[in-house]
Amino acid sequence: MFRLLCSGKTVPYEALCRLFDEQTNNGSNMSHYNELLKKSVVAIVSTFKKKTLYHLLSGRNAILPDKQSQVSETTDFELITWLVIK
């Protein structure tokens, strides 16, 4: 749905950008969005752990991923864009 809304859009919605800049002090106060990002990572880690546990309990063919392959914090991701939904 969001892809459809953005399809063919080559410039940002200026009014929404101004509102975002006002609310974040021109992007220098991103604490609210950083907290949301942290919560997202916690949810991803939880899902990963549940799937790993399921595979371990479902048979002898399960393989544990090494520590470097596991997601554990926000720095394990590269943020390429923001999509703010209000």
Question: Domain for residue 72, yes or no?
Answer: no
CB 71 within 8 A of CB 45: yes
Tell whether the model's pLDDT for residue 58 goes beyond 90. no
Question: Domain for residue 22, yes or no?
Answer: yes
Question: Domain for residue 23, yes or no?
Answer: yes
pLDDT computed for residue 17 by the predictor: 92
Q: Write out pLDDT tens, residues 24-43.
A: 999 999 999 989 988 988 99
Question: Domain for residue 3, yes or no?
Answer: no
Number of domains in the chain: 1
Structural domain boundaries, residue 49: 12-54
Tell whether the model's pLDDT for residue 22 goes beyond 90. yes
Question: For the whole prediction, is pTM greater than 0.85?
Answer: no
Per-position DSSP letters for 7-74, written without gaps between them: TT--S--HHHHHHHHHHHTTTT--HHHHHHHHHHHHHHHHHHHHHHHHHHHH-TT--PPPGGGS--SG
Question: Domain for residue 21, yes or no?
Answer: yes
Question: Domain for residue 76, yes or no?
Answer: no
pLDDT band (50, 70, 90) for residue 56: confident
pLDDT computed for residue 30 by the predictor: 93
